[in-house]
Amino acid sequence: MRRRQFMFAAVLLPFARAALAQARFDHTHAAWDALLKKHVRLISGGNASQVDYRSFAADRRLLAEYLKVLSAVTPVEYAAWNKAQQFAFLANAYNAFTVEKILTRYPDLESIRDFGRVFGNPWKDEFFTLLGAERSLDWIEHDTMRAPGVFDDPRVHVAVNCASVGCPMLGRDALVAGRLDTQLDDLFRRFMSDRSRNRYDAQEQNVELSQIFDWYGKDFEQGHQGFASVQDVVARYANQLADTAADRARLRTGTVPIHFIEYDWRLNDVTR
């Protein structure tokens, strides 16, 4: 009888540990949320943002504590979470570790690409620990979040921020599972409303989009989130891209030529 009880307990132990880990981890990401609200400034009518890296540096200890919590999550704990919790965890980790990367050299850099694209590559360097191994920013974004069958959500491109002016804005709220869809839709709408990144040129009669749609256009061709093409993005956000009813109607036809705006890699610092 005791042996049977022991075997039963042994079977249940991993599930109990996973449940305890899920209860222990703060899925509100309150620490990161507080840092964002303190150090991120909205501009362009709330459709873009800048980061006050100088003031962020003064709170680097608090940032380090949050990053330590992220790094302590094990693969078993992560596997017990639902998809929204996993997505929020990875996106917040990407953004927080990116800020930390910038702070290692701030203010002595003009762009995240100052770290180099061969040696010191900020996206390929494995400079932090996540889910039990040394990881890179590319591992989070491309190997995991964009991997087929994992999340299948092209809104990943507004969830992660590359610390550059050309990026979709870094929001002032941490991503959280309970509001994830609403948050991602809001970030996407703000991105498409930012005329410095996406706009309709009435004179040339073409739409000018961020290079994100050039580099990752295939992510919008898989039917996920209702997108079957970049033209579908243009049609859905016609109201954000153009001002007149006639221009918006034209965008919804899906036939307007698309041009891509050169990406602005300058640091998204408030001093810019």
For 236-259, what is each residue's pLDDT tens digit? 999 999 999 999 999 999 999 999
Residues 62-90: tens digit of each pLDDT: 999 999 999 999 999 999 999 999 999 99
pLDDT for the residue 4? 53
Question: pLDDT tens digits, residue range 24-68?
Answer: 899 999 999 999 999 999 999 999 999 999 999 999 999 999 999
> Six-digit token pair at 115?
């770290």
Quote the CA–CA distance of 123 and 132 in Å, as a whole number.
19
Q: Is the pLDDT of residue 92 over 50?
A: yes
**The whole model's pTM is what?**
0.91
- Of 214, 221, 218, residue with least CA distance to 260: 214
Q: Is the pLDDT of residue 14 over 70?
A: no
CA distance 186 to 44: 15
Cα separation, 242 vs 202, whole angstroms: 8
- Joined tokens for residue 158: 């507004």
What is the domain partition of the chain in residue ranges?
Answer: 2-261
CA distances from 55 to 12, 38, 51 (A): 47, 9, 9
d(C-alpha 184, C-alpha 166), whole Å: 18
The reported pLDDT for the residue numbered 13 is 44
pLDDT confidence bin for 12, thresholds 50/70/90: very low
What amino acid is encoded at 241 in this protein? L
| Burial zone of 22 (CB within 10 Å; 0-12 exposed, 13-18 middle, 19+ buried) | middle
Find out whether 145 and 156 touch, Cβ atoms under 8 Å.
yes
Give the model's pLDDT for residue 118.
Answer: 65
Of the two residues 181 and 23, the one the predictor is more confident about is 181
**Beta strands in the chain, from DSSP E residues, in sequence order:** 40-43, 48-51, 128-130, 133-135, 199-201, 206-210, 258-261
Residue 5 scores a pLDDT above 60: no
pLDDT tens for residues 142-194?
999 999 999 999 999 999 999 999 999 999 999 999 999 999 999 999 999 99
